[in-house]
A and B are shown apart, each in its own frame.
Chain A
Amino acid sequence: MSKIYYLIFGVFLVLAVVVRVWLDKPTTLPKNQPLKFEATIKREPRNYDFSQVIYVADSRVYVDLYPRYRVGDRLKIAGTFDEQGRMFDPEVEKIGERSSLSRWRSDLRDKISNNVGALLPAREATLVVGTVLGVDTISQEFRQQLIKTGTIHVVVVSGQNLMIVAGIFLALTKYLGRRQSMILAILVVFAYAFLTGFEPPVVRASIMVLVSTLAIFLGREASVAWSLLIAALLIVLVWPQALFEVSFQLTFAATLGIVTLGSALQNWLKKLPFLGANAAIATSAYIFTAPVILFYFSRVSPIAPVANILVAEAVFPIMVLGFLIALASLIFMPLAQVLAYLAYVPALYFSEVVRLLAKFV
């Protein structure tokens, strides 16, 4: 293996240890009894059609949509968690605010997502924000349609999105040189993981994606599967519980599928124009993740490969334009508006395909 590969491995190892030290021990909150406690929000609350979900330790607190709560808010909460760790109609009072890096990030996310919301119709805005930041706000109907068609991974920060990000920068090799583009790709993937909040699933996906993308890039096709395995081992070392988490298993299975079956299929499907590469990636990821999905959700969406092949071509422009829109919206809104019109077309195509295909499931 080349020197740079060892270097990357070393960086990962150090980062892994740092993250491990940072991690909070999981707290379990008592269920079925009235509680009164104070907590600081650490994860971005999710906004659905009718409620806002605040994550506290292993549990969730459901509150009205307004006032909005944010990362860093210190809350006084009173209510009772049920068996599943959900608290409905609690009394919530905001007693303070902590400024921190994660608060700053939350402000940035909020700003970007509000800006995009002001530029595009709701569904298309969800897609653009989702590919850039991972969504915190999504309508129940659209979410159900994305799940039904097996395309929800596009609006959460998933391995696929990270792969696109890494891919864009690795494609710059011609202009920047191999090493520079590689370092840039690593930095950007981590910047991306930072923007999305460094949630363990995202960090894990970043590691796996970087390792496999770089291995392919370095032209060691035979060792790609091995690299992936090493990355997975490393991850399990840091987050032993990850082994039992669906998100980790899905990322691992999908990546493994893409680097093994996917590259084989790609050679075979290359003759097909346009959809060939998409089909190879979508089908291989689908085949490898199907057992995991079947095990946890006891059903596999039969149209998922079709939907994924159809929308794949749109994800790339949505994402690239999404990043540009996000950036532009912080500097000069009219430019962001023009870019948003361009992004509207692939986003509309995506949402229409999903809407139509969801009817068949």
Chain B
Amino acid sequence: MLDQKSKLILILSAIFIVLGILFIVESQKVGKLRLIFCDIGQGDGMLIVTPKGKQVVVDSGPGSKIVDCLGVNMPFWDRTIEMMILTHAQQDHMEGQVEIFNRYSVERVVWSGVENTTALFSAWQKLLSAEKSAVHLGRTGDKLKLDKVVFDVLWPSQEKSNLWKIAPPTDINDSSVVVRLEYNPDTGSEEAICAYLTGDLSKEILEGLINKPCQILKISHHGSKTGTNQEILEKVNPEIAIIQVGSKNRFGHPRKEVLDLLISKGIRILRNDTSGTIEIVSDGKSYTIK
């Protein structure tokens, strides 16, 4: 049998070897854009990893399952989220962000500025100010860049936001920050991969925001019939529709009307309730689904 000292040395060297291997494995993943739609139950929660390995979180679902998703999809030494977007202040989009604030350092937070009266929102706000992240209120026309990934903010408009300061929106879903993200490695070429991230915005507003087609559309409002119509699908002309939804949810999401519409257009549907976590990897020209 080994004596204790050599056993300790053996264990330590095994640990260092594994750490080295993990480091190499992780560094292989760099260079591509990864869009990860986390399986977080009934809600929206997504992680975007830029080609240089920076992380952007968009919403984070109810509960704390998002941190499991981040734990699995981020290198173990990386404890920083470079940007976190909150589309709107509802539990099924924001609860996980509280846990993210607790566990990660968040450099920049983008949200609508439209407050909610819930205890959860107060907890979120408290942690946001303690975190000292740079806060940016997303407004139509803003262009946020991270590596070569561009986030175009399409909604809310400055005008509406000013109005909401006087009279809060009747439906907080309509204050959702909507972005189109685009990754184009060679700035000259026309080819690019892009995706619409729509929060819970209602279809009447959404249809007016879309200015060019994209391969990927995150279906608004978990596939509720309030979030999708023919015109949106025609304007976006997506190849893939992502529905972030929990199985057996009490809202009956996604609605049959929406699914039928997507099927009739021949759009491929990916749902978290049936596929678990969905990952799309792209080099800016083509993409693969994991």
Chain A interface (Cβ < 8 Å from any Cβ of B): 47-51, 64-67, 114, 117-125, 137, 139, 141-142, 273, 317, 341-342, 344-346, 348-349
B76: which A residues are within 8 A, CB to CB? 120-121, 124, 341, 344, 348
Contact A50 B71 (CB under 8 A): no
The CA-CA distance from A120 to B102 in the complex, in Å, is: 12
On whether A65 and B95 interact (CB within 8 A), knowing A47-B64, A50-B62, A122-B67, the answer reads: yes
B65: which A residues are within 8 A, CB to CB? 49, 139, 141
Is B74 part of the binding interface, using a Cβ–Cβ cutoff of 8 Å? yes
B14: which A residues are within 8 A, CB to CB? 345
Contact A124 B102 (CB under 8 A): no
Interface size class for chain B?
20 to 34
Q: Which A residue's beta carbon lies closest to that of B18?
A: A345
A65: which B residues are within 8 A, CB to CB? 63-64, 95, 98, 120
Interface residues of B in 1-45 (CB under 8 A from A): 1, 11-12, 14-15, 18-19, 22, 41
The CA-CA distance from A20 to B98 in the complex, in Å, is: 40
A117: which B residues are within 8 A, CB to CB? 67, 102-103
B64: which A residues are within 8 A, CB to CB? 47, 49, 65, 137, 139
Chain B interface (Cβ < 8 Å from any Cβ of A): 1, 11-12, 14-15, 18-19, 22, 41, 62-65, 67-68, 70-72, 74, 76-77, 79, 91, 95, 98, 102-104, 119-120, 122-123
Contact B71 A122 (CB under 8 A): yes
Q: Which B residue's beta carbon lies closest to that of A67?
A: B119
Contact A123 B41 (CB under 8 A): no
Contact B15 A342 (CB under 8 A): yes
Q: Smallest CB–CB gap between A155 and chain B, Å?
A: 15
The CA-CA distance from A345 to B119 in the complex, in Å, is: 38
The CA-CA distance from A157 to B62 in the complex, in Å, is: 29
Contact A123 B98 (CB under 8 A): no
A139: which B residues are within 8 A, CB to CB? 64-65, 68
Q: Smallest CB–CB gap between B61 and chain A, Å?
A: 9
A66: which B residues are within 8 A, CB to CB? 95, 98, 119-120, 123
Contact A317 B102 (CB under 8 A): no
Q: Within the complex, which residue of A122, A317, A346 is in contact with B68, where a contact is CB–CB below 8 Å? A: A122
Contact B120 A344 (CB under 8 A): no
Q: List 15 A-B contacts (CB under 8 A).
A: A50-B41, A50-B62, A50-B63, A64-B119, A66-B119, A118-B104, A121-B70, A121-B72, A122-B71, A123-B71, A123-B72, A125-B103, A141-B65, A142-B68, A317-B15
Listed from nearest, the 4 A-B pairs whose CB atoms lie closest are A121-B71, A122-B71, A50-B63, A49-B63
On whether A67 and B77 interact (CB within 8 A), knowing A121-B71, A121-B72, the answer reads: no
A-B contact count (CB 8 A): 81
Q: Which A residue's beta carbon lies closest to that of B66?
A: A122
Most buried by A among B14, B68, B72: B68
The CA-CA distance from A66 to B119 in the complex, in Å, is: 7
A67: which B residues are within 8 A, CB to CB? 119, 122-123
The CA-CA distance from A208 to B76 in the complex, in Å, is: 38
Q: Which B residue's beta carbon lies closest to that of A64?
A: B120
The CA-CA distance from A349 to B103 in the complex, in Å, is: 22
In addition to A50-B63, A345-B19, 19 A-B residue pairs with Cβ atoms within 8 Å of each other are A49-B63, A49-B64, A50-B41, A64-B120, A66-B119, A67-B123, A117-B67, A118-B102, A118-B103, A120-B76, A121-B72, A124-B76, A137-B64, A139-B68, A141-B68, A142-B68, A341-B76, A344-B19, A345-B14
Q: Smallest CB–CB gap between A67 and chain B, Å?
A: 5
Q: Smallest CB–CB gap between B153 and chain A, Å?
A: 27
A125: which B residues are within 8 A, CB to CB? 71, 103
Contact A119 B41 (CB under 8 A): no
The CA-CA distance from A49 to B212 in the complex, in Å, is: 38
Q: Which B residue's beta carbon lies closest to that of A349?
A: B18
The CA-CA distance from A345 to B18 in the complex, in Å, is: 7
Q: Which A residue's beta carbon lies closest to that of B119?
A: A67
Q: Smallest CB–CB gap between A177 and chain B, Å?
A: 18
Q: Within the complex, which residue of B74, B102, B119 is in contact with A121, where a contact is CB–CB below 8 Å? A: B74
The CA-CA distance from A65 to B101 in the complex, in Å, is: 14
The CA-CA distance from A211 to B141 in the complex, in Å, is: 71
Q: Smallest CB–CB gap between B86 and chain A, Å?
A: 15
The CA-CA distance from A49 to B123 in the complex, in Å, is: 17
Q: Smallest CB–CB gap between B211 and chain A, Å?
A: 37
Q: Smallest CB–CB gap between A249 and chain B, Å?
A: 33
The CA-CA distance from A66 to B64 in the complex, in Å, is: 11
Contact A118 B79 (CB under 8 A): yes
Q: Which B residue's beta carbon lies closest to that of A313?
A: B11
A120: which B residues are within 8 A, CB to CB? 71, 76
A49: which B residues are within 8 A, CB to CB? 41, 63-65
B71: which A residues are within 8 A, CB to CB? 120-125
Q: Within the complex, which residue of A64, A122, A341 is in contact with B77, where a contact is CB–CB below 8 Å? A: A341
Contact A122 B19 (CB under 8 A): no
Q: Smallest CB–CB gap between B74 and chain A, Å?
A: 7
The CA-CA distance from A50 to B68 in the complex, in Å, is: 13
The CA-CA distance from A293 to B102 in the complex, in Å, is: 37
The CA-CA distance from A64 to B76 in the complex, in Å, is: 29
